[in-house]
Amino acid sequence: MPELPDVEVFRLLVEKNCLKRTIAKVQLNDLSMLKEIQPKELDSQLSGSSIKETKRHGKHLFIGLDTSKWLELHFGMTGFLQFFPDSQGDTQHDRLRLDFKDSSHLVYDCQRKLGEIGLVQDPERFIQDRGLGPDPYQASLEQDRFVNLISGRRGSIKSALMNQTLLSGLGNIYTDEVLLVAGIHPKTKVKSLRRQDLIMIYKAMQQVLVEAVKREADPQKMSDFLLSQRGKGGLCPHCRSTVEKVTISGRSAYFCPRCQR
DNA sequence: CCTATAGCCTGACGGC
DNA sequence: TGCCGTCAGGCTATAG
């Protein structure tokens, strides 16, 4: 689930339900997901503080506390957040649970444990240290900068778009989505693309990301997206051709052989 | 410099 | 029914 649109939806969930709530209890159920912090310290930093604001960069979510520290969450392949309005409610692989004073609670679930839980002083600094590229959501990344970042790469357009140090937030699903809208085959070498093509991709990316967030990144509301057609003889949402699959840098790329050359 | 690959972790699914 | 291989919307370290 967790690419840029999904994480943006998680951010909005926290924004809507958790602001000004005070954390009464911290329950950490899996130590292996902690990044550069000890369980005890996470507990002491979170307990008693309240949630003040949120930020997101690419696939990373930052939850700001009134102590000026930030809880940093990454979701790996299987992570998600869920909010429960009272003390009832659980998920199957809850790795972190924050109980608020009024006994509502927020659960971070991550089946495969490929995500991470951290605590950071400053999100901007974190982004720099990790070498993350700019976040492409809405107008936060200009067209020219995008073209400059991508052009000159030796590999395929799909791997360039998925490279988090170039661009932060697109993953396997949404690169496929963007390339379908742009009408570009995922294996196309970046070198063979003209400036016009990159601009097409840029525009497709803007459109896809905004639309996906609008639909809350909910597959049920995205029947006209390629993501609902992955696997077993799916059909292109645009022309109804049978979707095909290729492997690119170890990941499955789905595309429409008719719409994408 | 850059790209492509195996490995991390767990669970669901299909074939035998 | 049970076992086994494969695959899954991420990222890192390592080999080429």
A92-141 tens-digit pLDDT: 999 999 999 999 999 999 999 999 999 999 999 999 999 999 999 988 89
Residue A250 contacts strand B, CB under 7 A = yes
Q: Tell me the nt nearest to A111, Cα to C1'.
A: B10
Q: Classify A211 as helix, strand or coil.
A: helix
The C1' atom of B3 and the CA atom of A44 lie apart, in whole Å, by 43
Q: Tell me the nt nearest to A254, Cα to C1'.
A: C9
Tell me what pLDDT residue A187 has: 93
Is residue A23 predicted with pLDDT exceeding 80? Answer: yes
Tell me what pLDDT residue A107 has: 96
Find the length of chain A: 261
Q: Tell me the nt nearest to A152, Cα to C1'.
A: B2
* Spatial contact of A179 and A185, defined as CB atoms under 8 Å apart: yes
Give the residue nearest to nucleotide B8 (CA to C1').
A114
Q: Which residues pair with A84 in a beta bridge?
A: A105
Tell me what pLDDT residue A261 has: 86
Tell me what pLDDT residue A233 has: 82
Q: Tell me the nt nearest to A158, Cα to C1'.
A: B3
Share of chain A above pLDDT 90, in %: 89
Q: Classify A50 as helix, strand or coil.
A: strand
Tell me what pLDDT residue A138 has: 85
- Amino acid in position A115: G
A183-236 tens-digit pLDDT: 999 999 999 999 999 999 999 999 999 999 999 999 889 999 999 998 878 899
H/E run at residue A146: helix A143-150
Residue A251 contacts strand C, CB under 7 A = yes
Q: Classify A110 as helix, strand or coil.
A: strand
Is residue A1 predicted with pLDDT exceeding 90? Answer: no
Q: Which residues pair with A12 in a beta bridge?
A: none
Reported pTM = 0.96
Tell me what pLDDT residue A108 has: 96
| Residue A194: other Cβ atoms inside 10 A | 9
Give me the sign of the Cα torsion angle A234, A217, A164, A71.
negative
Q: A181 — phi, psi (to 5°)? A: -60, -35
Residue A57 contacts strand C, CB under 7 A = no
Q: Tell me the nt nearest to A30, Cα to C1'.
A: B9
Is residue A164 predicted with pLDDT exceeding 70? Answer: yes
The token pair at A67 is 């102590």
Which residues 165-204 on A are within 7 A of strand B at the CB atom? 190
The C1' atom of B2 and the CA atom of A103 lie apart, in whole Å, by 51
Residue A169 contacts strand C, CB under 7 A = no
Nearest by Cα to A182 from A142, A155, A164, A209: A209
* Spatial contact of A237 and A230, defined as CB atoms under 8 Å apart: no
The C1' atom of B6 and the CA atom of A97 lie apart, in whole Å, by 33
Distances (CA, A) of A144 to A55, A97, A127, A148, A158: 25, 42, 21, 6, 19
Nucleotides of strand C within 7 Å of the protein's CB atoms: 7-12
* Spatial contact of A58 and A135, defined as CB atoms under 8 Å apart: yes
Strand order in the sheet with A79-84: A23-28, A94-100, A105-110, A79-84
Q: What value does the mean pLDDT take over residues A5-13?
A: 96
Distances (CA, A) of A224 to A19, A52, A94, A235, A257: 34, 37, 32, 10, 17
Is residue A258 predicted with pLDDT exceeding 80? Answer: yes
